[in-house]
Amino acid sequence: FSLQEIHIKEPIEKQVNPHLLPGELLLCEANTVYKYIQEDGSNRGTYGKLVCTNFKIAFLDDESASDDNEPQLKNKIVGENDITLQCVDQIYGVYDEKKKLLTGQLRKYPEKLIIYCKDLRVFHFCLRYTKEEEVKRIVSGIVHHSQTPKLLKRLFLFSYASAAPSNTDGRNQTMMFDTLEDWRDELERTKGNVKYKAVTINEGYRVSEKLPLYFVVPICVSEENILKYEGRGIPIWCWSCHNGAALLKMSAFPKEQDDSTSQTQKAFLDGIYKTISKAPYELLKTDDLSSSLPSLQDIQTAYTRFKQLFLIDNSSDFWTTDVKWFSLLESTNWLEIIRRVLKKAIEVAECLERQHTNVLLIEESATDLCCVISTLVQVMMDSYSRTKSGFQSLIQEEWAIGGHGFFDHCSHLHKSDKEEAPVFLLLLNCVWQLVQQYPPAFEFTETYLTVLSDSLYVPIFSTFFFNSQHQKDTNTSGESFKTQSGPFRFLTVWDWSVQFDPKAQAFLNNPFYAEKPKPDKSQRKTTRFKHQRQLSLPLTTTKSSTKRGFFREETDHFIKNILGKRIGKLINSSDEPPNSFREFYDSWHSKPVDYHGLLLPRIDGPEIKVWAQRYLRWIPEAQLHGGGTIATAAKILDLMEEVQSLQVKMDEEHCQAVSGDVHSVPLLRNSARLSSLFPFALLQRQSVKPALPTSTWKDLEVEDDLVKRDDEFVDLTSDMP
Amino acid sequence: FHTLFVLQVENVKLLDRYTNKKAANGTLYLTATHLIYVEASAEARKETWILHHHIATVEKLPLATAGYPLLIHCKNFHVAHFVIGQERDCHEVYTCLLKLSQPVKPEELYAFSYNPKMSKENREIGWKLIDLKVDYQRMGIPNDYWEITDVNKDYEVCNTYPPEIVVPRAANKAVVIGSSRFRSRGRIPVLSYLYKENNAAICRCSQPLAGFSARCLEDEQMLQAIREANPGSPFMYVVDTRPKLNAMANRAAGKGYENEDNYDNIRFKFIGIENIHVMRSSLQKLLEVCEMKSPSMSDFLTGLENSGWLRHIKAVMDAGVFLAKAVKDEKASVLVHCSDGWDRTAQVCSLASLLLDPFYRTFKGFMVLIEKEWIAMGHKFSHRCGHLCGDPKEVSPVFTQFVDCVWQLMQQFPCTFEFNERFLLEIHDHVYSCQFGNFLGTCHKEREDLKIFEKTHSLWPFLLQKKQELRNPLYRGFTAYKELQPNTLPFSFQFWCGMYNRFDKGMHPKQCVLDHLLSCVSQKVKLEDSASELENKLPFLDGPLPSDACPLPKVGPAASKTPMLNTPQGYEGDPPPALSNGAAGGDGDVLSDVDQRNKENLSPPQDLHGDTIEVLDSEAKEGKPRHH
């Protein structure tokens, strides 16, 4: 095609300057860049300036868009046409209509630049009208700054932290788990403090740099043992069930060639198992996740294939998937991985809840699949984890402090792709399945999960930045930074006001949440940890007492059994789950759901769905006018608002001077016409006519009456015998 | 009720493929109309009822340890797996069911014996509930271009069309008769829907008897008349919903499709919807996927794709969208046909109407739509649903596909339908149940011959009685949405668990969102009632002397907008059932009232107080919150 053939408005020379964050530096820029509107290959678009800073790549529209076109969920940090350097997935250049991946040094400069983002946006920039000098500068600048490895301290997180005013309080209800007190509170909340204790032994990272400063172990485990193998082979507490059974995780020993070493390690493990299998501890089941779940490599491969289905250059690509859609989806294996992970979590929940046994998850690092399973189990079993602050505390505990390798897995340094693995995304995908199956059980929305996944690539937060608490601590001190006197003050992603104004934050709260009766607000500080535990499910009569009696006598035999079968074979890991699992699953599903009790996802094939909001939100072709989940949400919001205002009115009538505590959301009026892509994009502005032309209102009124009358009629007939 | 058992068998188990629990023993009863299984040993008496007409197949499986298995597949996708202790019993049940589920004569159908103890008058009113003339009036017909003609009153033009049809005024009787000779089974082009805003019409017919070169002047005049009835457009579409190959094959048999050269200003299009045989086998494959126990992602996704079911649903939807766009955006009239114009044509025309007109997305409107496009225009329910013992090749899930399309729309636009999924399921059930007369036979003439209007009941009043549980709590009312533009990308089509796995309890949420919402709505109504009640009390409190002498105080402004359930005094401690209808009290003369309203359908409502439309609607209409 030729651009000359179609009508393009003459570029207007106008001075637009990028909005820079504290610490953000403009590195290079190019004028008269033409940005295509993605959808239809019609070459429509706008002229503007393309800039690259040490934080983002940004396109500045010459005809600066009027405010009413802005998306509702405006991110204060990352604009509609901003791509943070961390968010860049791949950059392609188009040379003579051929796409080529751009990396490293460039010899020739492309006429078109395509940027694929990790949040699944796709940008097309035409550089044909840009001065050659500027093309060179901007293309090599973008490729260099987004693709080549850098020194850690040169990353934007540090520039921002040293330049930004450290005024954000960040205090919210999220527990950060960076203090001993937080761990003790969590132990107390789950009543785990009888058998487990928080230890300070890792202060100064004496035990291991991979472990957090504070963590929780069974009371009977000695300091000496913890120190022996840098914390390996030590069961670390994740959570206690209402019946006292606990979820534990353990970092396994790497495979040893040396026989005597592995003998010693085995003996060490025997000792540990023996200690924690004695009363008062419950029967122990172990599960080696590295053999019972897909490898990180499998997960990465599956996700790479899966996201390719949505990273499309134009809509015609999308239509070609037509007949093959389901087999394409199937061949990625991504949904099957989600299903297997959910199934594993149900198995663990069954052991804890019904069999009343402790479950020990084993993985080499105990920071990847252990985190996924442990988080999911808690979301399913502990309704506190389904509140916003509870979920955030959980992510903080298991992932941020727990030592998930965000830095490597998100490839923040672009060092190598090998480390990259979407483990956290996998978790969010699994949680989303639960959210869409049981909307009233969650205080947050799918939009919350979506923006949380986006936040992985906003490098002003430390939450999802480092590999471990140690890495964060050592880099916070700011020693090597001469310009900075004190330590860096990093932001936490949980302070949502950094990214969203209050109006936008309303999208994160689920209006449909079946809230529990709240304790008095004045006691908030104390009630924070006193979140009530639920007896999740009075299942079949518990066999625990007999089991434990049996177990005490047979301890030695049992331990032999574990070791004989090698660790991890106790939970059946074959695809056909043991009968007890299916029975548990069926029996739960045959009873009414208690949204504040145990929650088990449905995992039969048809129940696992594609997270449409995250994966389709930038694809104009996928939108529905006046449809989609947002239509439901908007309608429910209206309804709730009305109920609330009625309640207020009632209270007034009763002359009770209760001031209206209506935390209603003043949005979505006339929301019938919203696009299903709302609140992320308003892409429909180019492509359609208004859904309801005003000229037709009059006619409708007449028909309207008709419908009313039909209803009248209906009402009468319903009295017929 | 039917207390007469044809057969009673003890020691029968009903297996549940979702639980591994040991099945309990029970008793199986066969009545004249139902199979009833009662699980006796359970603490609670559990009954499973299966209507004989719902039974699609009965199979005897090889002997199992527990006894002799009998597998029953139902037309509403219920699968029941019985194990019977004695071989003789098993065989007896088997032969009985074969006979009972496959009646030979129409008189044996349930509808002719079903007796809900309703007066004759009420039954007749039930049949008059839907009046298609009123719907044509709603479209503005008769008008300058279209008229309702009784040219078919003795079924001389077409014996599968109703006596009254809508044709262009410009087409005189000679044209109509002439055209009918050139159309398969005389199914001439008639109006299905007129889009009032721009005069573009959707018309339907059967294929022309064109062969390779035949022409018919009257048929060409007929199409010209249709095109000229829409002066805003210089052309019209003629849409053949069959795949091109199929249509071409028909030419050899002297049928086929319109030649663009012979008709003035038509644009001819094929939309490849497959025939009834392809659809039947596609559903069969889909059901095999549904019957898998705990399918993995791979089993499910490949099975779903290989069945092709959603691809066919998409094809129907694409066709509907094409029609709606042609009418609305291009302002062009469309003539639709397939082979006989009663399967794919019915699907596509009714779907397009649903997309264009919000009225059809209400309870009443949807009933009108089915009566108009399916029942009146001669969809062969009797054959497609296998009501009577007959050619199994005539059976095809054509109506199921339409219902599936509607459900897909409900998924995409959750606030645009007055009714919920259960309404669709109810209708789908009764299309097969033969409990009501509506879906018996194949066309209006046959229904007259069967005397269904005298001998059976209509389904619609019974569904309206259940309106509370069938309504969509998310409905935004009539004016909130006009045309729908559904997405027809492949991922937009979902597998409808609630239909095809409806009886597999393991696959459904127990406490569904729908119930939750319905209770939300009733909470709101309750609050509004209490509010209006309090407001009613205010004048007494403010006034000089509260007096009990005046039982009906002046109704305040808020109260006038809220639905008045009973007398306000009535619900102090005991509110009436939420969302109950206005006539809950003892209106003595329901009938005359109904009659009257029926006649007055087009005049504005006079009595605002009797207007019990739910609050949701009226609010959406006002487009603003009312509580300020």
ipTM, two decimals? 0.72
Structural domain that includes position B90: 7-102
Distance (Å, rounded) from C-alpha A131 to C-alpha A11?
13
Chain B, residues 438-497, CB within 8 A of chain A, namely 461, 464-465, 467, 473-474, 476, 478-487, 489-492, 495, 497
Select the residue of A333, A440, A591 nearest B516 (Cβ to Cβ). A440
Q: Which of A540, A587, A639, A640 is best to mutate for the B interface (most B CBs within 10 A)?
A: A639
Is residue B168 classed as helix, strand or coil in its secondary structure?
Answer: strand
Span A470-494, mean pLDDT?
73
Domains of chain A with bracketed CATH: 26-163 (2.30.29.30), 180-476+489-508 (no CATH)
Distance (Å, rounded) from C-alpha B396 to C-alpha B417?
27
In this predicted structure, the answer to whether residue A698 has a pLDDT above a threshold of 80 is: no
Q: Could you tell me if residue B579 is inside a domain?
A: no
Written as six digits, the tokens of B131 are 């009046």
pLDDT tens readout for residues B564-604: 333 333 333 333 333 333 333 333 333 334 344 333 333 33
What's the mean pLDDT when you consider all of chain B? 83
Backbone φ/ψ region at B599: left (φ over 0), alpha (ψ -120 to 50), beta: alpha
B82 with B182, same domain: the answer is no
Closest A-chain CA to B20: A583
CB-CB under 8 Å, B294 with A627? no
In 3D space, the residue among A496, A451, A409, A397 whose CA is nearest the CA of residue A190 turns out to be A397
| Beta carbons within 8 Å of A222's beta carbon, 6+ residues apart | none
CATH of the domain at B52: 2.30.29.30
B287 with B415, same domain: the answer is yes
Domain boundary among B102, B120, B152: B102
pLDDT tens readout for residues A569-594: 344 444 444 568 888 888 888 788 88
Distance (Å, rounded) from C-alpha A522 to C-alpha A516?
17
CB-CB under 8 Å, B305 with A589? no
In this predicted structure, the answer to whether residue A639 has a pLDDT above a threshold of 80 is: no
CB-CB under 8 Å, B601 with A626? no
In this predicted structure, the answer to whether residue B448 has a pLDDT above a threshold of 80 is: yes
Chain A, residues 681-720, CB within 8 A of chain B, namely 688, 691-692, 696-697, 699-701, 703-720
B6 and A CB contact within 8 Å:
no
Q: What is the pLDDT of residue B568?
A: 33
B53 with B157, same domain: the answer is no
Lowest-pLDDT range of A126-135, A406-415, A512-521, B125-134: A512-521
The pLDDT > 90 percentage for chain A reads 37
Lowest-pLDDT range of A504-518, A530-544, B493-507: A530-544
pLDDT tens readout for residues B92-148: 999 999 999 989 999 999 999 998 888 899 999 999 999 999 999 999 999 999 999
In this predicted structure, the answer to whether residue A537 has a pLDDT above a threshold of 70 is: no
CB-CB under 8 Å, B413 with A631? yes
pLDDT tens readout for residues B478-517: 888 889 999 888 888 989 988 998 887 655 554 466 776 7
B93 with B183, same domain: the answer is no
Lowest-pLDDT range of A157-171, A246-260, B148-162: A157-171
B399 with B319, same domain: the answer is yes
In this predicted structure, the answer to whether residue A187 has a pLDDT above a threshold of 90 is: yes
In this predicted structure, the answer to whether residue A660 has a pLDDT above a threshold of 50 is: no
Phi, psi (degrees; rounded to nearest 5) at A33? -90, 140
Q: Could you tell me if residue B130 is inside a domain?
A: no
Q: What is the pLDDT of residue B542?
A: 59
Chain B nearest CA to A341, separation (Å) = 13
Span B271-280, mean pLDDT?
93
B167 with B97, same domain: the answer is no
Q: How far apart are the first and last CA of chain A?
A: 70
> Sign of the C-alpha dihedral, residues A711, A715, A716, A718?
positive
Q: Could you tell me if residue B126 is inside a domain?
A: no
Domain boundary among B482, B504, B526: B504
What's the mean pLDDT when you consider all of chain A? 77
Q: What is the pLDDT of residue B529?
A: 82
Q: What is the pLDDT of residue A353?
A: 92
Distance (Å, rounded) from C-alpha A654 to C-alpha A690?
44
Q: What is the DSSP letter of B370?
A: I
Bigger pLDDT: B179 or A659?
Answer: B179
Q: Could you tell me if residue B537 is inside a domain?
A: no
| Beta carbons within 8 Å of B304's beta carbon, 6+ residues apart | A326, B286, B289, B310, B495
pLDDT tens readout for residues A44-57: 788 999 999 999 99
A336 and B CB contact within 8 Å:
yes
The pLDDT > 70 percentage for chain B reads 82
Q: Could you tell me if residue B419 is inside a domain?
A: yes
Residue A274 — pLDDT band, cuts 50, 70, 90? confident
Residue A169 — pLDDT band, cuts 50, 70, 90? low
Distance (Å, rounded) from C-alpha B286 to C-alpha B304?
6
Taking the whole predicted model, whether its pTM rises above 0.80 is answered as no
B82 with B206, same domain: the answer is no
In this predicted structure, the answer to whether residue A12 has a pLDDT above a threshold of 60 is: no
Lowest-pLDDT range of A687-691, B297-301, B332-336: A687-691
Written as six digits, the tokens of A323 are 């007949």
B180 with B98, same domain: the answer is no
Q: Could you tell me if residue B562 is inside a domain?
A: no
B157 with B97, same domain: the answer is no
Distance (Å, rounded) from C-alpha A628 to C-alpha A619?
14
Domain boundary among B504, B534, B559: B504
Q: What is the pLDDT of residue B513?
A: 65
pLDDT tens readout for residues B348-394: 999 999 999 999 999 999 999 999 999 999 999 999 999 999 899 99
Query: How many contiguous H segments (helices) and E segments (strands) does chain A have?
Result: 25, 14
Span A636-646, mean pLDDT?
77
pLDDT tens readout for residues A363-414: 988 999 999 999 999 999 999 999 999 999 999 999 999 999 998 888 776 6
Q: What is the pLDDT of residue A681?
A: 55
Chain A nearest CA to B597, separation (Å) = 7
In this predicted structure, the answer to whether residue B540 has a pLDDT above a threshold of 70 is: no
Is residue A274 classed as helix, strand or coil in its secondary structure?
Answer: helix
Chain A, residues 507-536, CB within 8 A of chain B, namely 512, 514
Q: Could you tell me if residue B444 is inside a domain?
A: yes
Between vectors from CA B426 to CA B75 and to CA A608, what angle results, nearest 5°? 75
Distance (Å, rounded) from C-alpha A56 to C-alpha A33?
17
Q: Which of A594, A596, A700, A719 is best to mutate for the B interface (most B CBs within 10 A)?
A: A719
B278 with B353, same domain: the answer is yes
A438 and B CB contact within 8 Å:
yes
Distance (Å, rounded) from C-alpha A448 to C-alpha A554?
48
Ligand-binding annotation for B338, yes or no, is yes
B249 with B367, same domain: the answer is yes
Is residue A138 classed as helix, strand or coil in its secondary structure?
Answer: helix
Residue A202 — pLDDT band, cuts 50, 70, 90? very high
B332 with B253, same domain: the answer is yes
Q: What is the pLDDT of residue A153?
A: 79
Count how many Cα atoms sit within 13 Å of the Cα of residue B327 in the half-sphere of its side chain: 31
Domain tally, chain B: 2
Q: Could you tell me if residue B336 is inside a domain?
A: yes
In this predicted structure, the answer to whether residue B555 has a pLDDT above a threshold of 60 is: no
In this predicted structure, the answer to whether residue A211 has a pLDDT above a threshold of 80 is: yes
